[in-house]
Structure 1
């Protein structure tokens, strides 16, 4: 006699829509591809379903009556594992795009939108994409409850637990390696691998930001010195904080490090965020000009994320504009993001600066950026950040193993 127990398929979908006909349409598509589906006609019934079931996908109609789909996205953000979010609405595309961005900021590592009336093929394709398991390095780190103190950081710094990792930067037109970004990492016996967003602010409070930055500079210039004979023009980028830009001794400290290692000033790119530059414009301008006079490059990092990007760009002596990853990710499916990216590239070229895109996660995005004249790219599509020894090995293998596969694609698509 067959087992009568109902076994829930691995993929289950919560359909949230105040229109039962629309809900049934989505449910039919789910059935055809072997997914279990639960229909909820209101926010309240959806919330009740989420307390008793774990769903791999949630389709959300933005207009749900008294409580809209945005409230539901906020509710989903509190779940231990956020499902793949499919936003469905008859609202204009810009609203759909904004809802997807909201889902991403709420913790969804994967979200898409579909306009009404729904195209069944597009719905099926959206449902067939599996939700991210959040173990990928591309996704945000899990929330950590460990409290790190200034004393922990001081001890870690004194014990040599903080070091640089290097993410390659390539010329998009040729695939040629042109540089890297030095990124601080802390391998703590107590806390494990600690990301910089958890300890850089502590370094500021502890008075460690200057020695930490100089450590990044020394490690970056040592790598650069080793690569220059085989990679002419190679440059390493290092992030500078507002504290450093207010220190009048910094230009000489930087120059000393490069002179000691016999590395030219053109092989260093100093990355400065807009917020950093605007914290004290007069002091920042003083330091940045002196650094530029000494031959160092200055990059405007995280372009577009602040309130006065254009003002800073016009005032400061930047030679590179770095487009923030929040605009690059999803720019091929979000026309609003694509407009920001294309405008940023055009602005960089108008100012005779190099346009750099960070956070390139797939080859289609890489090709699209190259097609609009973006000069340089970095991101997981090229390589994650690597320790020094692995970076040198990656460099040796790059041309043979990767470059041809990047560039021998005849058709390059972009939004």
Structure 2
């Protein structure tokens, strides 16, 4: 049993398998890595352990007798105390394993991976390795962040602790920088770095989201203005909350900011998720249409992750489509993901929309997407999100590279 009050930095792993031999093998690997394995031979035993403690990793065999691993994944998602990583282990066919991982992603467990049986111990060790340092401090961090209130965020805004970081967007065929996405960051003097998954809901609940968004817009437009003399087609993208899509005064406020800073409307892209856009179609259509009439671009973010993607695409005045990273990151190894990505590119082009792929993490994915006809990419292959000065430094370094190294010169062909 794991003591939830224990602050020992040891890493706890819950090993769930109805085969004691397999469980012993996995537990042995954990022990050699210096972790503390906790074995559960059934769904019910695993549920009891989850009710009394928290785990940094969980390995799950999909076949668990009367219950199965899918039921356990659902239970973990409902507990709210999610591990850093879940490793699904099974002898099932590859498509079942892939679908299981996608199901886990859909219910919020984004770092779920699968390993086939018979298990490769080297692969298991690699799967258990990435979060050793983060897991050691996670319990204390989670407890500290849970104490943050909207008043703390308000003070952080007043002190200038909330700022925009910018992730580059790259033309996949030429390697040129086309713009960036502005991402809100909060470095709190009291709590340290606070993730947007924590402070964005606080901003919405505390009535601070409009203040934060207008600040992001102002900082982003000012940032774009500095690039326009050398990159006339530079576009900065800013995310828009569902709350603001019902604010019919927003288009005029954005237009005033553009005029004040001296940035053309074409240099701004507003990103909204399909779920946000479809929450109140009438008001959203009002705001989005007026933004488009002013020459501002509208991007459909996280395409494919909701329930009404095609309906939103057909009804809303989008000019850009962003393919969610959950489809992009595995598209070269998962045939189903590749089909979704290639279909998304084709559909967007039929609507005369630019296509952006999020989550490009290697050159092979870059080349494959370029060969597919995807227009723009962003991801760690190019750069993480950077503060303004760091972005400028990165930009000069990127542009100083020979053009051939900034373009997908040897496309990787892939059958759909």
TM-score bin (small chain):
0.7 to 0.9
Alignment pair present for 1:113 and 2:115: yes
**Which one of 67, 88, 91 corresponds to residue 89 of structure 1?**
91
Instruction: Tell me, in whole angstroms, the C-alpha distance in 1 between the residues paired with 2:46 and 2:330.
Output: 28
**C-alpha contact (below 8 Å) 2:150/2:206 kept by paired residues:** yes
Give the 5 Å matches for 1:34-183.
Answer: 60-70=60-70, 85-90=87-92, 92-102=93-103, 107=109, 109=111, 111-114=113-116, 123=120, 126-127=123-124, 129-131=126-128, 132-133=130-131, 143-144=142-143, 145-183=145-183
Q: Offset at 1:241?
A: 1.9
The two structures have a TM-score, normalised by structure 2, of 0.79
Instruction: Tell me, in whole angstroms, the C-alpha distance in 1 between the residues paired with 2:278 and 2:359.
Output: 24
Instruction: Tell me, in whole angstroms, the C-alpha distance in 2 between the residues paired with 1:244 and 1:16.
Output: 44
Instruction: Tell me, in whole angstroms, the C-alpha distance in 2 between the residues paired with 1:175 and 1:60.
Output: 41
Q: Offset at 1:222?
A: 1.0
Alignment pair present for 1:357 and 2:362: no
Q: Offset at 1:69?
A: 3.3
CA RMSD in angstroms, aligned pairs only: 3.9
After superposition, give the CA deviation of every residue in 1:111-141 in whole Å (9 maximum; x if it has no partner). Answer: 2232xxx578xx36634635311658xxx99
The alignment partner of 2:64 has SS state of coil
**C-alpha contact (below 8 Å) 1:61/1:69 kept by paired residues:** yes
Alignment pair present for 1:242 and 2:242: yes
Between stretches 97-106 and 350-359, larger displacement belongs to 97-106
Instruction: Tell me, in whole angstroms, the C-alpha distance in 2 between the residues paired with 1:272 and 1:143.
Output: 28
Instruction: Tell me, in whole angstroms, the C-alpha distance in 1 between the residues paired with 2:181 and 2:303.
Output: 16
Q: Offset at 1:181?
A: 0.6
The residue aligned with 1:254 is 254
**Gaps in structure 1 of 5+ consecutive residues:** 1-12
The residue aligned with 2:307 is 307
**C-alpha contact (below 8 Å) 2:17/2:42 kept by paired residues:** yes
Q: Offset at 1:305?
A: 1.5
The residue aligned with 1:185 is 185
Instruction: Tell me, in whole angstroms, the C-alpha distance in 1 between the residues paired with 2:187 and 2:33.
Output: 42
Give the 5 Å matches for 1:173-252.
Answer: 173-252=173-252
Q: Offset at 1:263?
A: 1.1
Q: Offset at 1:204?
A: 2.1
The two structures have a TM-score, normalised by structure 1, of 0.79
**Gaps in structure 2 of 5+ consecutive residues:** 1-12
Q: How many residues align?
A: 391
**C-alpha contact (below 8 Å) 2:165/2:387 kept by paired residues:** yes
Cα gap change, 1:305/1:404 in structure 2, threshold over 3 Å: closer, same or farther? Answer: same
**C-alpha contact (below 8 Å) 1:368/1:412 kept by paired residues:** yes
Cα gap change, 1:17/1:217 in structure 2, threshold over 3 Å: closer, same or farther? Answer: closer
The residue aligned with 1:347 is 347
The alignment partner of 1:312 has SS state of helix
The alignment partner of 2:63 has SS state of coil
Instruction: Tell me, in whole angstroms, the C-alpha distance in 2 between the residues paired with 1:337 and 1:162.
Output: 35
Cα gap change, 1:182/1:56 in structure 2, threshold over 3 Å: closer, same or farther? Answer: closer
Q: Offset at 1:193?
A: 1.4
Q: Offset at 1:183?
A: 0.9
Cα gap change, 1:394/1:49 in structure 2, threshold over 3 Å: closer, same or farther? Answer: same
The alignment partner of 1:165 has SS state of strand
Instruction: Tell me, in whole angstroms, the C-alpha distance in 1 between the residues paired with 2:304 and 2:367.
Output: 22
**C-alpha contact (below 8 Å) 2:325/2:358 kept by paired residues:** yes
